[in-house]
Amino acid sequence: MSLYLSKTLILGIMFRICMVLLSFKISISYDIQASFIFGDSLLDVGNNNYISSLAKANHYPYGIDFGMPTGRFCNGRTVLDVIEQELRLGFSPPYLSPTTSGSVILKGVNYASAAAGILNYSGHIFGGRINFDAQIDNFANTREEIINKIGVPATLNLLKNALFTVAFGSNDFLDNYLTPPISVPEMELLSPKSFVVIMISTFRVQLTRLFNLGARKMVVVNVGPIGCIPFMRDFNPQAGNKCVTFPNQLAQLFNTQLKRLIEELRNNLEGSLVVYADVYHIMEDIIMNYNKYGFENPNSACCHLAGRFGGLIPCDGYSKICVDRSKSGERTERDSEGRRQSGFNVEGVLLHLVEISVVCST
């Protein structure tokens, strides 16, 4: 991804976040006391370093512009890293790190895990991963630790003024419903609509549980156009230069139901602010109008080893990477578990609000 963020771009992110929250009659300002993050490889900052998993980013070229590999599946910072710095919180540490304890957790914790999904079966082909249910379990442990440290009233107040970011769904398609040979019998038993219904009903229970544990300000990110990622393009050459249709249809089907779920939760969970982050249309706009944003390549991976679009083989030390990631329009990032490299430069993406789970920078 692009490497150098100007102050204007960073302020642009914060401005758009504030505008969305203000539309729900609340101001985020700088009153956010902590940041708790739940998601997959797009938000993982090192949790998978501590488990037995094929989905790891603790090696070169990951972190090439961060100073070293950290477990982030990109060349530098995630967008949430940037936002947290602007909120003066610092980086939320990975939950499984031995140093994530004591006063550190009062500023927030990152529970995200590469290959994770809403459904517990999703991502099993990569071995170890921490799916959303388990991430909530880990948050419950953190909550108890905070209570032991500062007491119940102060803990509830901290959580009330914390930002909770939740980004799941793509792995439930890419590493479950669309994964051969799993996908063949699964599609025969479950229509896309039925599969999405299961995802949404599970997500409802999970988000409600998070609310019951104290989360009040939640940003829930939808699924991006997964049919446009290099992995899907390379494995579906019949699509030519176009995005692959069926995966995008699945994403849109899920997103439609997710938006309704968010409205339902916002109405039913008293005292909550649940925001729907529309990554799909942000990314669609960038893909269609990439020149307008200063990008040179809207479809190929910066970390490239095999395939027309660089999506056939996971990013590793033998991969060819972009020399100048601030200008190439491509990025050294694996959007998920070693095959979903995308071709976007962060500078334009960061002008959009809730590209929270899709981009990286330094």
Q: In terms of pLDDT, which residue wins out, 350 or 318?
A: 318
Question: Residue 221: beta bridge partners?
Answer: 167, 277
Domains in the chain, please, with CATH? 32-327 (3.40.50)
| 304 has pLDDT over 80 | no
Q: Dig out the tokens for 123 from the structure.
A: 């991502």
CA 354 vs. chain centroid, Å, equals 10
pLDDT at 325: 65
Q: Dig out the tokens for 322 from the structure.
A: 């972009």
Least confident among 47-61, 118-132, 144-158, 346-360: 346-360
Entry pTM: 0.85
CA 163 vs. chain centroid, Å, equals 15
pLDDT tens, position by position, 137-148:
999 999 999 999
pLDDT tens, position by position, 22-58:
444 444 444 789 999 999 998 999 999 999 999 998 8
CA–CA distance, 54 with 60 (Å, rounded to integer):
15
Q: Dig out the tokens for 32 from the structure.
A: 């956010």
How confident is residue 92, by pLDDT bands cut at 50, 70 and 90?
Answer: very high
| Cβ contact 122:131 at 8 Å | yes
Question: Residue 217: beta bridge partners?
Answer: 163, 273
HSE at residue 165, side-chain half, CA atoms within 13 A, is: 30
